[in-house]
Amino acid sequence: MTEHRPLGRTGVKVSPLTLGAMNFGTQGNPDHDESIRVIHAALDAGINVIDTADVYSQGESEVIVGKALSAGRRDDVVLATKVHGRLGDDVNQFGNSRRWIIREVEDSLRRLQTDWIDLYQVHRPEPDTDIDETLGALTDLVHQGKIRYIGTSTFQPSQIVEAQHVALARHRERPVTEQPPYSVLVRGIEREVLPVAQQHGLRVLSWSPLAGGWLSGRYRRDEQVAPSRRAERNPGRHDPDLPANRRKLKAVHALHDLADEAGLSVVHLALAFVLEHPAVTSAIIGPRTIEHLDAAIGADKITLDADLLDRIDEIVPPGTTLNDADAGYQPPALTDPARRRRIRRPA
């Protein structure tokens, strides 16, 4: 029997594992029937949260989730999706504006074959859009009954706080969740994001608890790793020749040794680690196959003792992200040179 956890102070109870749907569709598993079998197996195993996004496989993931829930299973699921990513060539077909949110929620509802979304999340920050613009649109959707709660994903600590303060000052709906990347290899959010979330009563649904596959069991010592589509799509996170990824591989080997010593799979060790943090309500797993799902099921039943957690800290110290490419978001203040340099005008 799954022990459900409170989603903050909403009164909603959710399973410690969330089924992430990013790998359903052409981006991962293009077989709709097989993906639906994975979804049904997850629900049968006690998972009651499904998290997707409009941008996953350009809407195909939402279509697959909608098909899976159409056979009488919608009412038992806390259904979450996200808005922000680009879905067309038009300059306004992305982002956090009222114009895009109001339009895109209708498309998500249609693809998901539902009248309401339980948790509608802003997929990434957008510093050039006033947060009140975003919260105002989301508040209207709550009042219309199209969404129940709102959340954010991969927001910086200052952005989390700003959203809370603006919501209170302008009488908007407050975000109730934050969805950041968190794993043994990606611990940067322990410095501020997790404490800030606790301070403001947000619950955390953490994505990539297996660090993009690094903690899936594929990277064992003295074994050749087959090339993956992930490595082709994102070499910064997966190219083994990069120094940051060599550091990750060294840590992964040490974690495999530790898991073997503890009688655990590295998948269960990694998921149990994430679920140990008191700010984390649920860890989002993203299986592409039944086998991937089976490897994760049961991790929420495992408790890591203090000695084992201390040894994990020795491998990857608290607050440390071994590769900045795994952080999920870099603010424009760092990525756009024009934002950190004075414009020199000709004399």
**Token representation of residue 169:** 């000052």
Residues 174, 164: Cα–Cα separation, whole Å: 6
Burial of 55 (0-12, 13-18, 19+ CB in 10 A): buried
Render the burial of 103-142: b for 16+ CB within 10 Å, e for the rest: ebbeebbebbebebbbbbbbbbbbeebebbebbbbbbbbb
**Pairwise CA distance, residues 146 & 29, whole Å:** 29
Spatial neighbors of 95 by CB under 8 A, at least 6 apart, are 84, 126, 129
Q: Tell me the C-alpha distance between 181 and 189, whole Å.
A: 8
Nearest residue to 252 (alpha-carbon basis) of 211, 297, 292, 293: 211
Active site residues: 56
